[in-house]
Amino acid sequence: MSIVRFENIHKHYQMGAEQVRALDGVSTTFKKGSFWAIMGHSGSGKSTMMNILGCLDRPTSGQYFLEDKDVSVLNDNSLSDIRLKYIGFVFQSFNLIPQLTVQKNIELPLYYLGWQADKSAQRAKELAAKVGLETRLNHRPAELSGGQMQRVAVARSLAAQPHIILADEPTGNLDSVTGKQIMELLAELNAEGTTIIMVTHESDIAAYAKNRLHMKDGKIENIE
């Protein structure tokens, strides 16, 4: 069963007089429960693909079905809702909110879902325990190491029980040991049934994924 289906997705930008075709007719399908690595050099269109996958951006043309729902036609408000309920993000630079504690950062999606304070606190504690940070709940991001921050980000991405986790170079800012730990955590989540789509340019990181998709010049080069 497919969770994501791209049908002839184009994304064009106007850069001065030149038109850049960041995505040039991409059609692909990702199955539920799969673990994909999207690979390619910079400028290959993998970031644009990630933005569209994450409903942060809309394609210029083509259709994007998320669980058979055409999200390429939705407005900003509905896209926010899709991001909240379907998608969890893990970024290269962690993107935690510096003034919030670990617990509040994990709770953030639940806050926008309108959960009760005590219920979401409970969930944040469970998730912190899952990523091994139950003792750091009241710390602020600045007091954590890079690996710990990325764990918080993973816990946050899981809070709203998303259907897909999108990881954009999740190990890019980490040393190889902590990077490996994060990848093991993601692999573990995938083993529990979460669909994971990851963007990376490192082949040893991509090796954790079950499938790999290579991008070049806005087109799919090959799939393995």
Partner 1 sequence: MHQSRFVRNILLGIENLLLHKLRSFLTMLGVVFGVGSVVAMLAVGEGASKEAMMQIQKLGSNNIIINSIKSLEDDSANTKNARISIYGLTYFDHDRINDTFPHVRKVAPAKLIRKESRVGAQTLELRIVGTTDEWFELVPRQILAGRVFGEKDVQDFANVAVLTEFGARKLLATKNTIGQPIRIGGDSFVVVGIIKSEEGQAGNLQIPDQQVDAYIPLSTIRKCFGDLFMKTAAGSRIREIVELHQIIVQVDAIEDVESTAAGIERMLQNFHKKKDYEISVPLALLKQAEATKRTFNIVLGSIASISLLVGGIGIMNIMLASVTERTREIGIRRAIGAKRKQIIIQFLIETVVLSTLGGVVGLAVGIGIPCIITYFSDMPTVITLGSILLPLLISVGIGIIFGLYPAVNAAKVDPIIALRHE
Would you give the binding string for partner 1 spanning residues 45-74, x where CB under 8 A is met? Answer: ------x--x-xx-----------------
Binding of partner 1 by 114 (CB under 8 A): yes
CB of residue 177 to partner 1, shortest distance in Å: 26
DSSP string, 33-66: T-EEEEE--TTSSHHHHHHHHTTSS--SEEEEEE
Nearest residue (CB) to partner 1, 51 versus 103: 51
CB of residue 207 to partner 1, shortest distance in Å: 27
Residue in 61, 95, 122, 173 binding partner 1, rule: CB under 8 A: 95
Binding of partner 1 by 103 (CB under 8 A): no
Give the pairing of strands 35-39 and 195-199: parallel
Residue in 10, 85, 201, 216 binding partner 1, rule: CB under 8 A: 85
| Residue 93 structure tokens | 């630079």
Nearest residue (CB) to partner 1, 151 versus 212: 151
Binding of partner 1 by 42 (CB under 8 A): no
60 CB neighbour count, 10 Å cutoff: 15
CA atoms of 25 and 6, how far apart (whole Å): 9
Residue in 108, 121, 137, 187 binding partner 1, rule: CB under 8 A: 108
Q: Which stretch binds partner 1 (CB under 8 A): 33-41, 62-70, 83-91, 190-198?
A: 83-91
Residues in region 126-185 near partner 1 by CB under 8 A:
156, 160
Cα–Cα distances (Å) from 111 to 31, 64, 147, 187, in that order, read 30, 28, 25, 27
DSSP string, 76-107: HHHHHHHHHHHEEEE-TT----TTS-HHHHHH
Radius of gyration of the chain (CA): 17
Q: What are phi and psi of 109, to 5 degrees?
A: -60, -35
Residue in 89, 148, 214, 220 binding partner 1, rule: CB under 8 A: 89
Q: Which stretch binds partner 1 (CB under 8 A): 18-26, 86-94, 194-202, 215-223?
A: 86-94
CB of residue 77 to partner 1, shortest distance in Å: 6
69 CB neighbour count, 10 Å cutoff: 11
| Residue 65 structure tokens | 């079905």
Residues near partner 1 (CB under 8 A) = 51, 54, 56-57, 76-77, 80-81, 83-85, 87, 89, 91, 95-99, 108-109, 111-114, 116-117, 156, 160
